[in-house]
Structure 1
Amino acid sequence: MKAPPPNILFFLTDNQRNDLLGCAGNPIIKTPNIDRLAASGVRFENAFCTSPICAASRASYLTGTSEKRHRFTFLTSPLQSAYTDISYPATLKMAGYRTGLIGKFGIATNGIVPSLQDEDAVEKMFDVFDNYEHWTEEGYEIRQPDGSVRHLTDITGDKTINFLRTHQSDHPGQPFCLSVSFNAPHAQDNDPRCYIWPATEDHLYAETQIPEPFNAHPDFFRQLPKFLRETESRVRWQKRYATSEDYQRNMRGLYRMVSGVDRNIGRILGTMDQLSLSNNTVIIFASDHGMYYGDRGLSDCWQLNEQSIRIPLIILDPRADENNRGLIREELALNIDIAPTILELANLNVSDKMQGKSLVPLLEKKKVDWRKAFFCEHRFHRADIPKSEGVRTQRWKYIRYYEQQPVYEELYDLRNDPHESFNLAGDHRFSNHLKRLRRRCDKMSAECA
């Protein structure tokens, strides 16, 4: 008898770097429920987004294509129907899945309303579409009808639990794919508190001293080129991390927001157990991109350094045997791999337009021939956020700010310099490496387009 197709529950957080998990080796942050997913599933040690900005990365998650292919980020034309038509929710819905999104859709050129070429795209992709963000007057603190205040992260947990219960009662036997997109731990930039967490997490990290970020000494920042010293990333550093007191306060707030997400994931997992859904529901946990938390004297994302492009990624398939649980894979996994992974898990065909590769072969303890490099890019048109593109291999990183005159290049040996402290682009001893990666970037850029 053919096994029923699995349910799929895809958790996506906002601006959460790869190292903000206990299972990733962070000795301070408390994420027991996400750690439990990793202990029972597969954690990808080297997972990356290909564009470190919300709009472009979320379009890549949806469609399995890179920014240079789908051409969507903030202030661009709407995402083309050629890509929403092949998206994982559209494909799943057409195949009989009940599909839903709760939280931040994020594919919007300016604001919250989706920017999609096809006015019927949302209906083609989702049976349930509950799109909301923290960019409102209330922010994360939502006034309830009874006058109380509930945090947006808890509301997202509530709505997810309601979806699961309603699905079980009203749609028995129909598989579902639910995308749960937490707004946390994104900072509230229009609020001086910056990081606003649920009251349940008030007690956490109160006496904890968060370690200083890498390359945070003023001397490191001063040696950056002028155009990087004058970016929006530095403006946001001034707001969040300019003093040690601000750094500790905001990092504790950030950690509390992550722990709030983890607590709600625990609530959702408990509901799945109660509804007997756990044994046939694949769970994916990831974030849209990484962040500078004061590293390099910067804040936010946008540049192509490791802090911005590294993301957490965990996949738990409850149908896997014991030998394939608790695995840590070292291969280069990308956000564009998630859509084809979801479709293969559902036993559906993957469009040839998708550039990502299904991660399903990596969910088992076996050797797999895999990519050795990937192309990354940032193309948001804004004067104080410079555009860049690059190549990341297993050992080397090449970045070029291609609109600077002259073009500004960076080259890092990640094996010997994992924090990208020493730019080797101007060192004649590495000129052959620079030329080789420059050519590779040209080639991969053309292929992505």
Structure 2
Amino acid sequence: MILRFLPDFSAMPRRALGVATFLLLLAVTAMEAAQQRAPNVIFILTDDQRYDELGVTGHPVMKTPHLDALARDGALFQQFFTTTAVCLPSRVNYVTGKWERSHTVGFRGERALSDEQWRESLFGVLRQAGYFTGLIGKSNIPGLRQDDIDYYCGSDRTYLGFYPREQHRDFEVLFHGATETTQIEIIGEAARDFLGTDDGFYQRSLPAMKKYLGRRDRSKPFFLYLPFEVPHGTGTRTMAQRPTDDELYRSTYRDRIDDMPLPDNYVALSDWRTPKLPLEIYNGEQSDSYSYRRTPEGVREQMVRNCQTITGIDRLVGRLRAQLEELGEAGNTIILFGSDHGWMHGEWGYGGKCLLYEPSIHVPFIVYDPRPDSIRRGTQIRELAVSPDVAPTILDLCGIKPPESMQGRSLVPLMRRADAQSVEWREDIFLECLMLGQNYPLVQGVRGERWKYMRYWPLRPVPDDYRDMLNFGLRGEKPAYEELYDLKNDPLENHNLAGSPPHAARLEEMRARCIEALRESLGRAPTDPMPSITVEEWRKRTGDFYRMLRSAKK
């Protein structure tokens, strides 16, 4: 490209030639410096989005042109899984690069990340490397240090709601600078403020909140994490189709409601006869958030809302890319897109997540890197990838060595290989459900390319020593129920082969591998102290942020 613009040196006087050569060297040096700059990163995480809920992954109705473009120009992981289908621990997995059993921060476990764990998290490592860091949205990470994030406009609470400023009294302070009322658009306003394309959000924010809305130093690379709380039911169920809502959230897709696809193995409540899991393992009673699953009409209404909110996020992606162009940062900003887990839309009569069936754990994951020669464009990757891989992947893309404590693997080698090049990779992944609530059983499993094994114990109370839960299964405890699926011939997991004599040898093999993978995911001796601290300790250390929210309202 440079040669096209070179002047005719032969016609220049010697002095002018020297000046032209000097200016040309400056231009080339500047271009090389730009290419060597540390990249910016934007990581977008949705809530409860299944793999099949994007245009590029095959949804027959949903329109997601901007995310489809990211996949077309980047890398789409076709077999990406969250290792736990529960919001809180899954989001901790993403930022720590660890399995839940290793970081020990679970739902109702009353644990939080320690100082050391936070320093070795994605946020801690990037900030130490000179990145300007930001978080806007639903963090849901016990142990998060608000003062150690340069731009923090997030909620540690579980729910944001579709209209966040009405969801909780603290959110009126948190999002006081917003002019929008809906979740996606409020997060978009704060993101513009973070990037520096519009500082209205900052100017309208309360003085106490401005302390946490740092002004970006444009000489530094940035990392922006945008975790949403849609299409999660607590976000989409509160959609009210108000006259002030964007037309997208009032009418789009409603003319296609009858075209919304029911799962192939959908069972309405009126047709529910034989439960998939024994009632003593799981009684199927779930929170009202998943009551829509009971009728086909309810499922289709939920799907309309899912389509609306995911398309809303897709639209925000398009706007972010336009803002990056405006700032001159589009060619040096990596964008990643994923979800904390999926959920079931009435498969076998079940709703929600937590259970380790494919609709709950299989999620979309896209990596777009515009830098020349960084990753292969338009590649679709079939290797098994998991949520703990994301943190080391981001660090690797930024030229930073991941901490030894991260258990995930960088996905960069898979994205850079040539067509015929093979990469030594994992053959299976360990899965776990330590929900401890809402009637869910304790579940452990291992999934390979073809075979999937899961073992169950009924719901149990939180033990006095949380290590008893984390070490469960390593002391020879026999499961109360088992499942074995041949995903090649039964991708919908309809036929449990655990009791099939011809598959007895395979069952034994998968049992042994599950225990081995359980031990690997633990990452320490069962008797070692937990690396995390109590939630109470964390609250004592980070109380200023919440005191600020309360005092700002007085």
Task: Show the counterpart of 2:423.
Answer: 368
| SS of residue paired to 2:196 | helix
Aligned-pair CA distance for 1:314: 0.3
Task: Show the counterpart of 1:112.
Answer: none
8 Å contact from structure 1 (residues 15, 288) kept in 2: yes
CA distance in 1, matches of 2:160, 2:335: 30
1:242 partnered with 2:313: no
CA distance in 2, matches of 1:322, 1:398: 36
Task: Show the counterpart of 2:136.
Answer: 102
CA distance in 1, matches of 2:274, 2:308: 28
Task: Show the counterpart of 2:219.
Answer: 173
Amino acid of the residue matched to residue 408 of structure 1? Y
Alpha-carbon spacing, 1:335–1:431, altered in 2? closer, same or farther (3 Å): same
8 Å contact from structure 1 (residues 41, 317) kept in 2: yes
CA distance in 2, matches of 1:393, 1:171: 45
Alpha-carbon spacing, 1:227–1:214, altered in 2? closer, same or farther (3 Å): farther
Amino acid of the residue matched to residue 222 of structure 1? P
Write the deviation string for residues 149-189 of structure 1: whole angstroms up to 9, x where unpaired.
62111111111122112699851221001111122111127
CA distance in 2, matches of 1:147, 1:29: 28
Pick the structure with greater CA Rg. 2
| SS of residue paired to 2:507 | helix
Task: Show the counterpart of 2:432.
Answer: 377
1:337 partnered with 2:389: yes
Amino acid of the residue matched to residue 102 of structure 1? I
- 1:402 paired residue among 449, 457, 474: 457
Aligned-pair CA distance for 1:202: 2.5
1:238-387 → structure 2 map (5 Å cutoff): 239-321=291-373, 324-366=376-418, 367-382=422-437, 384-387=439-442
Write the deviation string for residues 399-424 of structure 1: whole angstroms up to 9, x where unpaired.
11134785210100001111101111
Alpha-carbon spacing, 1:182–1:193, altered in 2? closer, same or farther (3 Å): closer
Task: Show the counterpart of 2:284.
Answer: 231
Determine what percentage of the aligned residue pairs are the same residue.
34
| SS of residue paired to 2:385 | strand
- Stretch of structure 1 that moved more, 37-46 or 159-168: 159-168
| SS of residue paired to 2:79 | strand
Write the deviation string for residues 271-308 of structure 1: whole angstroms up to 9, x where unpaired.
11111111000110000111112222111110111111
- 2:446 paired residue among 386, 391, 397: 391
CA distance in 2, matches of 1:429, 1:276: 62
Write the deviation string for residues 250-290 of structure 1: whole angstroms up to 9, x where unpaired.
21111111111111111111111111111000110000111
CA distance in 1, matches of 2:146, 2:182: 26
Write the deviation string for residues 67-108 of structure 1: whole angstroms up to 9, x where unpaired.
11011112222223332121011001011110111101111x
- 1:84 paired residue among 86, 104, 118: 118
CA distance in 1, matches of 2:375, 2:253: 36
CA distance in 2, matches of 1:411, 1:198: 46
CA distance in 1, matches of 2:445, 2:177: 52
Structure 2 length-normalised TM: 0.74
Aligned-pair CA distance for 1:25: 1.4
Task: Show the counterpart of 1:203.
Answer: 251
Amino acid of the residue matched to residue 213 of structure 1? P
Write the deviation string for residues 31-67 of structure 1: whole angstroms up to 9, x where unpaired.
1111111011000000000111011001110100001
- 1:70 paired residue among 98, 103, 117: 103
CA distance in 1, matches of 2:327, 2:409: 32
CA distance in 2, matches of 1:323, 1:361: 9
8 Å contact from structure 1 (residues 388, 401) kept in 2: yes
Aligned-pair CA distance for 1:447: 1.2
Write the deviation string for residues 180-207 of structure 1: whole angstroms up to 9, x where unpaired.
1122111127957699985433332112
Task: Show the counterpart of 1:123.
Answer: 147
8 Å contact from structure 1 (residues 387, 403) kept in 2: yes
Alpha-carbon spacing, 1:357–1:167, altered in 2? closer, same or farther (3 Å): farther
Task: Show the counterpart of 1:4.
Answer: 37
8 Å contact from structure 1 (residues 100, 128) kept in 2: yes
8 Å contact from structure 2 (residues 281, 456) kept in 1: no
Alpha-carbon spacing, 1:319–1:213, altered in 2? closer, same or farther (3 Å): same
CA distance in 2, matches of 1:227, 1:319: 54
Task: Show the counterpart of 1:212.
Answer: 262
Amino acid of the residue matched to residue 410 of structure 2? S
Task: Show the counterpart of 2:532.
Answer: none
CA distance in 2, matches of 1:176, 1:167: 17
- 1:38 paired residue among 41, 62, 71: 71
Alpha-carbon spacing, 1:296–1:175, altered in 2? closer, same or farther (3 Å): same
8 Å contact from structure 1 (residues 45, 328) kept in 2: yes
Amino acid of the residue matched to residue 212 of structure 1? L
| SS of residue paired to 2:348 | helix
Aligned-pair CA distance for 1:235: 5.7
Structure 2: gaps (5+ residues):
1-31, 167-171, 200-214, 460-477, 523-554
8 Å contact from structure 1 (residues 187, 195) kept in 2: no
8 Å contact from structure 1 (residues 221, 229) kept in 2: no
Task: Show the counterpart of 2:234.
Answer: 188
CA distance in 2, matches of 1:137, 1:374: 33
1:446 partnered with 2:514: no
| SS of residue paired to 1:24 | coil
| SS of residue paired to 1:249 | helix
Alpha-carbon spacing, 1:194–1:220, altered in 2? closer, same or farther (3 Å): farther
CA distance in 1, matches of 2:330, 2:315: 17
CA distance in 2, matches of 1:211, 1:6: 40
| SS of residue paired to 2:83 | coil
Aligned-pair CA distance for 1:364: 2.0
Amino acid of the residue matched to residue 175 of structure 1? P
Aligned-pair CA distance for 1:435: 0.5
Task: Show the counterpart of 2:203.
Answer: none
CA distance in 1, matches of 2:183, 2:498: 45
Alpha-carbon spacing, 1:326–1:421, altered in 2? closer, same or farther (3 Å): same
CA distance in 2, matches of 1:158, 1:261: 13
| SS of residue paired to 2:255 | coil
CA distance in 2, matches of 1:137, 1:26: 25
CA distance in 2, matches of 1:84, 1:69: 14
8 Å contact from structure 2 (residues 369, 375) kept in 1: no
| SS of residue paired to 1:102 | strand
Aligned-pair CA distance for 1:236: 4.6
Write the deviation string for residues 381-434 of structure 1: whole angstroms up to 9, x where unpaired.
226111101001011110111347852101000011111011111111111111
RMSD over aligned Cα atoms: 2.8
Aligned-pair CA distance for 1:221: 5.1
| SS of residue paired to 1:157 | helix
